[in-house]
């Protein structure tokens, strides 16, 4: 008897182990952090370690560390209250560095449960979060509890999560997870709704789970999911609840070999469904539709989970599946998909293209020409947002507000502009016809030559050496294109090294554009290209290093010393010169397309140079009026006319430059969501104040008492003209330059009459003048500005043998 019992219990243990082993996924990386706390908290069997118990595998860099806590009774019992009772507050740029033990797909979950601690009301916090090349959150704020879940393919041994408070604000985090997930969770290639085509690039994208829904109107708790997911009931998303029958048969679910595993979705999901209630009507022809709010402008991976837990025989579940009005699957035959087995899970992935709509609807509906009884069902649904070409997963809330503005502008613009447009069309048509033959014959002559002719090629080894193997601590900036490192070449020359993200097609185009542009255009006020590297499909550009960083960082949001009014004028003049040269320096004007204070760099003498030509385009021929092109550029700086008509002229740069002038004058961001509503958009607010005569309200208080009224008047007049609604009313870059030089002269006149009559030979600091306006008044684009320093340095490089 005893022996028998023993045997039985051994078998039970063994069997239980088998079940457990097959049930549970054991993540290689499982870092759960209870932020701002000194205690460990267990939530559903998962232990979140207090910050202070972290070992070297997770390092938090922030200063000062501000752990926050709240009283116990403010958190509803439906939340893991011990976890959410504490938070870490970040007052400056901070980061978590994780050691990663296994590359591949990981989830990052960010838990936010805002509460007020001392003077910090977390409902008012505003911040951005980025990781690898992805921007997860932009100027994010929340006054309700949320958990954000992202997945990405981690491809290095260290993963750094950056937390960046918006200017003047702070950031917070209650809990943080970095967890390995099975690689097969996200496939390499997924079919798209548009066509028979497929979306191939998924492994390189970051995804955000925006909805995870269990049909059958039953929630599934993390405890009932091997990957600790939370599935919400579908009832509140249903458009047509009276057509629907909720069914539940969890025990029936039979995972089959080769089909989805429990990690794809647990039995609690496959075992419940929302099904068409068609029992009394064999002629029923309807859809069941669920409606979801999403951010427009992104692609979404939509995953449908099916499991026929209702049919008694094969071939009875045949229906159509739609996303919006697109077919996700036509005549889906569930028994066919599950190799003729009932109650067997199956899932369907479809990538939904970008739309302008903020609603995404999912439907299952009867296929009228199907032979079976009308039926349709769905067991579970996941909607995942796919990062865009810039690596963004989030829209800046500020851009949404201004976006609405543009729409009304658009309507007004259209009604006013129709006559005008017709005239332009007629004219353009006439000109095109007239010129067609001629253009055809010399089109190639006007095209820019390829990069190979002009670039200076560096080996990857030389670049690795210069950047200490892309040491993250040398990063001086991150942009849409990739990361920028500070590097030191063998000849001790400091360079800025921009390393493109190899995955984006956009990147390749921008890479080539930038090499072409910068090889052709050398100018004292354009950042010089020193070389490039395209070894091993890298896209790396080397520029002269600009000691003082961006103009933006000297205007606000940093500890840089305050720029005087005169210095600001000189910087504006320098950048205007660079742009003027771009517009006029060659037979065909070059349009920069991304003029902003972050693209104006300052060297060690605070001399301005225009940078970042990735978006540049050759402008119109004289006879054509514009270049028509997809809207690109930076929000807040975009020419409204360009937004509406998508027609690009030099005047679009003039508009953006006008925005920069206001930024320089006011010393604040172009879009600042932390300000009261009417002040959020700098241009709107400044124009309004200027009209009302409330100028003193907008000017950077740091400039108080420095400005000569005439100089300020000239400057304002110039800025205002740059922002004219209609491009034709805006000045040319040359006129802008002339006026700014004039403003500087007006500023200096009195000063000079007081202490010297030779303005042009002295500076504030007694340093020799750096090519700045006062030495060469009105000598726009003079030959002396076009320099060729980099050619010489490149040759010295060649002698040093750094290059291939």
Ligand X SMILES: *[C@@H]1O[C@H](CO)[C@@H](O)[C@H](O)[C@H]1NC(C)=O
Residues annotated catalytic, as ranges: 594
Q: Which is nearer to ligand X, 53 or 777 (CB)?
A: 53
Query: What is d(CA 192, CA 351) in angstroms, rounded to the nearest whole number?
Result: 5
Chain-centroid distance, C-alpha 271: 38
199 or 521: CB nearest ligand X: 199
Q: List residues bridging with 171 in a β-sheet.
A: 90
Shortest spacing between CB 224 and ligand X, in angstroms: 4
Q: Does 786 bind ligand X (CB under 6 A)?
A: no
Judged by CB under 6 A, the residue of 147, 247, 250, 769 near ligand X is 250
Residue from the set 83, 89, 105, 161 that interacts with ligand X by CB under 6 A: 105
Which has the closest alpha carbon to 31: 2, 61, 10, 54?
54
Is residue 407 annotated as involved in ligand binding? no
Helix, strand, coil proportions of the chain in percent (round to 5)? 35, 25, 40
Q: Which is nearer to ligand X, 325 or 408 (CB)?
A: 325
Distance of alpha carbon 308 from alpha carbon 213, whole angstroms = 17
Distance CA 647, CA 629 (A): 7
x/- letters, 195..214, toward ligand X (CB under 6 A): --------x-----------
155 binds ligand X (CB under 6 A): yes
**Residues in the chain, total:** 804
Q: Which is nearer to ligand X, 105 or 609 (CB)?
A: 105
User: What is the closest distance, in whole angstroms, from the C-beta atom of residue 445 to ligand X in the complex?
Assistant: 41
Say if strands 30-34 and 46-50 run parallel, antiparallel, or are unpaired: parallel
DSSP H/E element including 192: none
Q: How far is the CB of 37 from ligand X (least distance, A)?
A: 7
Query: Taking CB under 6 A as the rule, does residue 355 contact ligand X?
Result: no
Question: CA-to-CA distance for 483 and 667, rounded, in angstroms?
Answer: 26
Give dist(CA 160, CA 153) in Å, integer: 13
From candidates 66, 286, 370, 679, binder to ligand X by CB under 6 A: 286
Q: How far is the CB of 472 from ligand X (least distance, A)?
A: 4
424 is a contact residue toward ligand X (CB under 6 A): no
CB of 549 to ligand X, least distance (A): 16
Query: Please, which residue, 159 or 712, has the CB nearer to ligand X?
Result: 159
- Of 104, 216, 633, 781, the residue at the interface with ligand X (CB under 6 A) is 104
Given 1, 2, 3, 55, the residue binding ligand X (CB under 6 A):
55
Residue pair 372/316 in contact (Cβ under 8 Å)? The answer is: yes
- Judged by CB under 6 A, which of 287, 388, 597, 802 binds ligand X? 287
Of the candidate residues 293, 339, 753, 779, the single one contacting ligand X (CB under 6 A): 339
CB atoms within 10 A of CB 389: 14
- Cα distance between residue 649 and residue 625, in whole Å: 8
Dist. CA 497–CA 485, nearest whole Å? 5
Q: Which helix (H) or strand (E) holds 466?
A: helix 460-466
Distance of CA 180 to the CA centre of its chain: 24
674 binds ligand X (CB under 6 A): no
Among 81, 91, 291, 336, which residue interacts with ligand X (rule: CB under 6 A)? Answer: 336
Should residue 322 be labelled a site residue for ligand X when binding is judged by CB under 6 A? yes
Our finding on whether 69 is near ligand X (CB under 6 A) is yes
The closest of 302, 229, 231, 310 to 274, measured between CA atoms, is 310
Does 153 sit near ligand X (CB under 6 A)? yes
- Nearest 5°: phi and psi at 573? -65, -45
Task: Pick the binder of ligand X from 65, 109, 230, 341 (CB under 6 A).
Answer: 341
Interactions with ligand X, residue window 694-713 (CB under 6 A): none
The Cα–Cα gap between 240 and 501 comes to 45
Residue 771 backbone phi and psi in degrees, to 5:
55, 10
Q: Which of 18, 116, 412, 443 binds ligand X (CB under 6 A)?
A: 116
Beta-carbon contacts of residue 362 (< 8 Å; ≥ 6 apart): 289, 290, 292, 302, 304, 321, 322, 323, 328, 378, 381
Please tell me whether residue 94 binds ligand X under the rule CB under 6 A.
Answer: yes
- Residue 363 contacts ligand X per CB under 6 A: yes
Q: Does 160 bind ligand X (CB under 6 A)?
A: yes
Q: Alpha-carbon distance 344 to 214, whole Å? A: 17
**According to the binding rule CB under 6 A, does residue 228 interact with ligand X?**
no
**Footprint of ligand X (CB under 6 A):** 39-40, 49-50, 53, 55-57, 61-63, 69, 93-95, 104-105, 116, 121, 123-124, 143, 153, 155, 160, 183, 203, 223-224, 250, 254, 256, 268, 285-287, 322, 325, 336, 339-341, 363, 365, 472-473
The binding site comprises: 498
The binding site for ATP comprises: 498
């Amino acid at each position: 008897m005893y022996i028998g019992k023993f045997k039985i219990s051994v078998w039970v243990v063994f069997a239980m182990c088998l079940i457990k082993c097959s049930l549970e996924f054991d993540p290689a990386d499982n870092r759960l952090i209870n932020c701002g706390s000194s205690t460990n908290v267990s939530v559903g069997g998962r232990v979140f370690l207090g910050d202070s118990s972290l070992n070297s595998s997770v390092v938090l860099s922030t200063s000062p560390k501000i752990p926050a806590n709240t009283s116990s009774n403010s958190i509803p019992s439906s939340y893991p209250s011990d976890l959410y009772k504490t938070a870490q507050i970040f007052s400056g740029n901070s980061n978590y560095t994780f050691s990663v033990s296994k590359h591949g797909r990981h989830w990052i979950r960010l838990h936010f449960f805002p509460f007020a601690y001392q003077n910090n009301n977390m409902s008012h916090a505003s911040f951005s979060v980025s990781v690898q090349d992805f921007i997860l959150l932009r100027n994010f704020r929340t006054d309700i509890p949320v958990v954000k879940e992202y997945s990405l393919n981690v491809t290095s041994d260290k993963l750094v999560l950056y937390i960046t408070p918006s200017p003047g604000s702070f950031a917070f985090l209650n809990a943080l997870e970095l967890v390995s997930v099975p690689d097969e969770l996200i496939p390499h290639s997924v079919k798209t709704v548009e066509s028979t085509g497929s979306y191939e690039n998924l492994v390189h994208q970051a995804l955000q789970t925006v909805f995870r829904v269990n049909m059958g109107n039953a929630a599934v708790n993390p405890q009932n999911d091997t990957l600790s997911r939370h599935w919400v009931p579908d009832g509140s998303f249903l458009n047509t609840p009276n057509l629907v029958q909720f069914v539940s048969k969890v025990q029936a679910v039979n995972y089959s070999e080769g089909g989805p595993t429990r990690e794809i979705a647990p039995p609690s999901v496959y075992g419940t469904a929302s099904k068409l209630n068609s029992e009394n009507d064999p002629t029923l022809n309807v859809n069941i539709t669920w409606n979801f709010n999403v951010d427009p402008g992104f692609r979404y991976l939509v995953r449908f989970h099916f499991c026929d837990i209702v049919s008694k025989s094969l071939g009875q579940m045949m229906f159509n599946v739609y996303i919006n009005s697109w077919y996700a699957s036509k005549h889906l035959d569930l028994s066919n998909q599950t190799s003729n087995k009932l109650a067997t899970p199956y899932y369907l992935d479809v990538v939904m293209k970008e739309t302008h709509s903020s609603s995404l609807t999912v439907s299952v509906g009867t296929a009228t020409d199907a032979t079976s009884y009308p039926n349709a069902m769905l067991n579970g649904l996941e909607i995942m947002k796919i990062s865009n070409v810039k690596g963004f997963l989030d829209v800046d809330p500020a851009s949404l507000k201004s976006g609405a503005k543009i729409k009304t502008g658009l309507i007004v613009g259209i009604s006013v502009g129709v006559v005008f447009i017709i005239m332009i069309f007629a004219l353009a048509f006439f000109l095109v016809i007239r010129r067609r033959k001629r253009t055809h014959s010399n089109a190639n002559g006007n095209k820019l030559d390829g990069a190979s002719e002009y670039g200076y090629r560096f080996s990857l080894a030389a670049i690795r050496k210069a950047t200490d193997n892309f040491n993250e601590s040398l990063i001086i900036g991150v942009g849409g294109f990739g990361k920028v490192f500070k590097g030191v070449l063998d000849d001790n020359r400091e360079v800025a090294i921009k390393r493109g993200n190899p995955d984006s097609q956009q990147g390749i185009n921008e890479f080539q554009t930038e090499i072409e542009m910068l090889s052709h255009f050398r100018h004292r006020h354009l950042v010089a290209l020193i070389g490039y590297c395209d070894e091993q499909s890298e896209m790396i550009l080397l520029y002269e290093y600009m000691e003082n960083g961006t103009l933006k960082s000297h205007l606000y949001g940093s500890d840089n010393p305050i720029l005087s009014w005169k210095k600001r004028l000189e910087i504006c003049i320098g950048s205007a010169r660079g742009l003027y040269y771009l517009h006029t320096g060659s037979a065909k004007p070059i349009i920069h397309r991304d003029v902003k204070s972050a693209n104006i760099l300052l060297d060690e003498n605070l001399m301005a140079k225009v940078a970042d030509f990735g978006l540049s385009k050759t402008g119109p021929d004289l006879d054509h009026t514009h270049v028509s092109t997809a809207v690109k550029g930076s929000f807040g700086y975009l020419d409204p006319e360009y937004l509406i008509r998508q027609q690009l002229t030099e005047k679009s740069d003039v508009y953006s430059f006008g925005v920069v002038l206001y930024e320089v004058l006011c010393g604040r961001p172009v879009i600042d969501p932390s300000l009261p509503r009417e002040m959020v958009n700098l241009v709107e607010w400044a124009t309004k104040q200027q009209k009302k005569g409330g100028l003193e309200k907008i000017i950077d208080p740091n400039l108080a008492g420095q400005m000569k009224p005439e100089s300020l008047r000239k400057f304002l007049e110039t800025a205002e003209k740059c922002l004219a609604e209609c491009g034709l009313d805006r000045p040319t870059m040359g006129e802008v330059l002339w006026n700014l030089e004039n403003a500087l002269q007006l500023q200096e006149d009195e000063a000079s009459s007081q202490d010297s009559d030779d303005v042009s030979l002295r500076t504030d600091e007694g340093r020799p003048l750096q090519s700045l306006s006062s030495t060469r008044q009105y000598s726009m684009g003079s030959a002396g500005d076009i320099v060729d320093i980099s050619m010489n340095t490149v040759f010295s490089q060649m002698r040093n043998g750094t290059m291939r």
